[in-house]
Structure 1
Amino acid sequence: MSIVSKRKRRSAEPGKVYGAPGAGYSGHISVMTAIVLLALWFLVTGMGWIKPIFLPSPGAVYGKFIEAATEGVANSTLAQHTLVSLGRVMGAFLLALVTAVPIGILMGVNRTMRGLFDPIIEFYRPLPPLAYLPLVIIWFGIGEFPKVFLIFLAIFAPMAIAARAGVKSVSIEQIHAAYAMGASSRQIIFHVILKAALPEIFTGMRIGIGVGWTTLVAAEMVAAARGLGFMVLNAAQYLASDTVIMGIIVIGFFAFSFDLLLRYLERIMIPWKGKI
């Protein structure tokens, strides 16, 4: 068999000859990084290099986790705090999903909608939630709705902007081809623009859920009796750093879990992403 025929049989996939930037599995690196950081935590606290009030040992944090799960902290168990916070974040996320995505798509396909919403979103998007928290309290009081509304505002902007960016990424040739085959404007939006914008929409959803969890602590600063953010803030007032770190780990766990879930849904719903 000639050398030419061997090369044809072993033809490399696109990007594999020279190596695509960032290609390759990195999970083992992430696992090793986590192990090293955990080992450093054990070492630093075990040797007494940092006082427990600033950095408690992993054993102390684990003990506080067991105590919170069984006896409870801040007048509620860890499960009760978690369920309340999950309800607030997921309620705000779903509300943003059914409003921000349609508005973002309309901003991309309609200049009037873009003119109406673009200045509002671009004005408040860079503001930290604590900046407009007092105004939300003045408008809606200190009940449950202001907490969800504050998280909703934080999630809404990145999701709307991502949906609009997804519309702008649609190839004009695809739209012209659909019109040439007799598609209506509604069919163009639902079957061409929306599907082509899905990768950007999922990116906005991932960013939005992350922003929602970071806003949770601010939302639970005022008149909250339960919640992970409330638990962390309450513990900080008494310098209970073991409870603070335990709460941070729990919040990070759920935030990361939801991100993994969105990645999984993205792979199922957008199998063509990165292949065309």
Structure 2
Amino acid sequence: MTLIAALLLWFVATGPAGWVTPITFPTPAQTWDSFVQICTTGYAGGRLDQHIEQSVKLVLLGFFSATIIGAPLGLWMGCSRRAEAYFNPVFTLIRPIPPLAWIPLAIVWLGLGAAAKVMVIWMAAFVPVVINSYAGVRSIEPQLLEAAEMLGVRGSRFAWEVMIPGALPMIFTGLRLSLQAAWTTLVAGELIGAVRGLGHVLTQGSLDIYPSMILVAMLAVALCGWLMTWALGWLERRAMPWRAKS
């Protein structure tokens, strides 16, 4: 209902009411024409599906690599004082650095190709995964840990049956934050040195003073981010069926 109201307001404000000029913000008709253009003849070096494919590929590479490294590291730091003492100083030093601050260094190291963008996305997605995985372990109820110790649950069995299930809610919170950070950083990374991608469409649209095409790219980013967040939510419900039933 809210979405319908927003679309109606958009139509009225840019059309009959004339509150906003089309130069400032495009009308629905202009946005549709730009959508048809980028889907058929293309824009900024590719069609919309090609731009989306490039952006999604970069996001997934950065997000999954950050998850594969960050989640185990956070769990390890949460359950081992020695690991926390070893890694926390370095992590504390890296954590305050904005992800976009890594762009110049990524370009120096890896050039203007996809690898530099994946590195920047990795830096953005890595921090939330580590923090929330660590917090997930530390949030496990002490009574549960005491019961596991009394029953002799140790080693890999403790990790799979106690630590990971107990930390899963916080881990998925970190994954959602990481996914959001990955998309935000991707768009910023593609503003420089990209030949294809939704960020590149945004850059080219601003250079061409093409508001309706900019809006199409923004809506594409929003839709892709929503779909990936929905998929992550579906995975969360499958991984923690006891929460879905509660």
Do they superpose with TM above 0.5? yes
Q: Secondary structure at the residue paired with 2:241?
A: coil
Once residues 24 and 196 of structure 2 are traced to their aligned partners in structure 1, the CA distance between those partners, rounded to angstroms, is 25
Matched, 1:77 2:47: yes
Instruction: Name the structure 1 match of 2:82.
Output: 112
Q: Does 1:262 align with 2:200?
A: no
TM-score (norm 2): 0.94
Alpha-carbon distance, 1:275 to partner: 7.0
Structure number having the greater helix percentage: 2
| 1:265 Cα deviation after fit | 1.5
**Which residue in 1 is equivalent to 2:155?**
185
Partner of 1:203: 173
Q: 1:234 to 1:115 in 2, by over 3 A?
A: farther
Shift in Å, 1:119: 3.4
Distance 1:128 1:51 in 2: 36
Which position in structure 2 is the counterpart of 1:249? 219
1:151 to 121, 140, 155: 121
Unaligned runs of 5+ in 1: 1-31
The residue identity in structure 2 corresponding to 1:45 is T
Describe the shift of the 1:205–1:41 C-alpha distance in structure 2 as closer, same or farther (beyond 3 A): same
Encode CA deviations 1:191-241: one digit per residue, 9 max, x unaligned.
101111011111111111111111111211222100011111111112111
Structure 1: distance between partners of 2:10 and 2:97: 34
Q: Please state how far the C-alpha of 1:244 moved relative to its aligned partner.
A: 0.6
Q: Which of 13, 23, 27 is residue 44 of structure 1 equivalent to?
A: 13
Any conservation in 2 of the 1:45–1:57 contact (CA below 8 Å)?
yes
TM-score w.r.t. the length of structure 1 is 0.84
Aligned residues: 245
Instruction: Point out the structure with max Rg over C-alpha.
Output: 1
Deviates more, 1:117-126 or 1:243-252: 117-126
| Structure 2 letter corresponding to 1:146 | A
* Percent identical: 36
Q: CA deviation at 1:79?
A: 0.8
What do the CA deviations read for 1:134-161 (whole angstroms, capped 9, x no partner)? Answer: 1221222222211111001100100111
In the TM superposition, what whole-angstrom CA distance separates every residue of 1:92-144 from its partner, at most 9, and x where no partner exists? 11101110100010110112322333333344334333222112212222222
Contact preservation (8 Å) 2:70, 2:130: yes
Secondary structure of the structure 2 residue equivalent to 1:272: helix
